Structure 1
Amino acid sequence: MSTSWTHFPSPIGLLRAEASALGLVRVRLVGAPADEVTGPGRAHLEAFLDFAERYFAGQPVRYAGALDLERATPQQARLWRYVQGIPYGRTQSYAQVGRAVGLHPRAVGAGMRACPFLLVVPAHRVIHADGRVGGFAGHEGVKAWLLRFEQASRPSGTS
């Protein structure tokens, strides 16, 4: 299946978003951008760009666009959809998430490491029960930054 892609400069580095006609395929940190391609996923990329701009402006947004989960296992798809629902500025432990989706906490960690949707599936909101941030596919500093950013940007009156 062909994909389209775009880049978004963010406070955590350059993000590359890729989409198919079905939805967003992946969002990841990258180096220098390549030429953008137009194609069947362009509308999904526009939805991501709108989400990312609003997110980094400090708005408590949730990505509402489609995800292309054709490469995901049924367990991964269930896990990633659940994690999408963790509210901005909030966290849940690996164990809490595991209980909610019927997975062992280690399987939750493995599923979060395999998640190709940086930000749109907010894996950074899944932490250890004792408050430690935990892993983030080699970007633990990014995970901590995102959590601090959301706390600082959270609207007053929310807890």
Structure 2
Amino acid sequence: MTFRYDFAPTPFGDALAVFSDEGIVRFDLSESDDPSVPWLLENVSRQLHAVPEPDPGAADDLVALLDEYFDGEPVRFHEHLALDWRLSEGFSRTALQTITTIAWGETLSYGEVAALAGHPGAARAVGTACRLTPFSIIVPVHRVVRSDGSAGHYGAHPERKRFLLDLESGR
């Protein structure tokens, strides 16, 4: 299996896109101003047990979809990109796959996602799956909100979640 990476621009800065022979395996919004910092690639390499090679242009299709998305088009990334789920397993994968069914502009609570994923009462596990998703934006974990309807967190950047929810609601 070969892995390669490229960067994709977002309103939050460049994001790391890692691809396998089977599809996109990781899409990371950087927590740093420079997503090319070595620790980011080292972390992905540890998870994959392989070092991805740079491949400028590998993310071109993703970049086109992101451009449409950030222009307000209701893009369903998983319908256009092959997702390689190797970095998510068990209930986390089930929860994330359930989240891909949440429509543009809609939200579900963590508890509702847990119930749809077949494990009522596993709302906290859904939260963990959202926090650890290997597919930021591509799997719309930002559409999962608290039971009281408030947005909640998005990693260390709740303002990003609010931006994405506002984008999808047309605000």
Query: Could you state the TM-score of these two structures normalised by the residue count of structure 2?
Result: 0.79
1:6 equivalent in alignment to 2:20: no
Shift in Å, 1:25: 1.1
Give CA-to-partner distance per residue, 1:111-156, whole Å, 9 cap, x none: 1111010110000000012111112111111011110111117xxx
Q: Does 1:75 align with 2:91?
A: yes
1:29 aligns with 2:29: yes
Equivalenced residue count is 149
Deviation at 1:28, TM superposition (A): 1.4
Matched, 1:109 2:127: yes
Unaligned runs of 5+ in 2: 37-52
Aligned equivalents of 1:12 and 1:95: distance in 2? 28
**Aligned residues: CA RMSD:** 2.0
Residue number among 52, 57, 60 corresponding to 2:66 in the alignment: 52
For 1:156, the equivalent position in structure 2 comes to none
* AA in 1 matched with 2:11: P
- Whole-angstrom CA distance in 1 between matches of 2:136 and 2:127: 15
* Structure 1 segments unaligned to the other structure (5+ residues): 154-159
Is 1:62 the equivalent of 2:79? no
Instruction: Say if 2:87 and 2:134, in contact at 8 Å, map to a contact too.
Output: no
Percent identity over paired residues = 33
Q: Distance in 2 between matches of 1:55 and 1:93?
A: 23
Q: Are 1:95 and 2:111 an aligned pair?
A: yes
Q: Which shifted more, 121-130 or 50-59?
A: 50-59
2:145 corresponds to 1:127: yes
Partner residue in 1 for 2:19? 19
CA drift of 1:32 comes to: 2.7
Alignment equivalent of 2:102, drawn from 83, 86, 95: 86
Amino acid at match of 1:57: D
TM-score (normalised: structure 1): 0.84
How far, CA to CA, are the matches of 1:53 and 1:78 in structure 2? Answer: 28
Q: Determine helix, strand or coil for the equivalent of 1:75.
A: helix
Report the AA paired with residue 53 of structure 1: D
SS in 2 for 1:97: helix
User: 1:46, 1:68 → 2: CA distance?
Assistant: 17
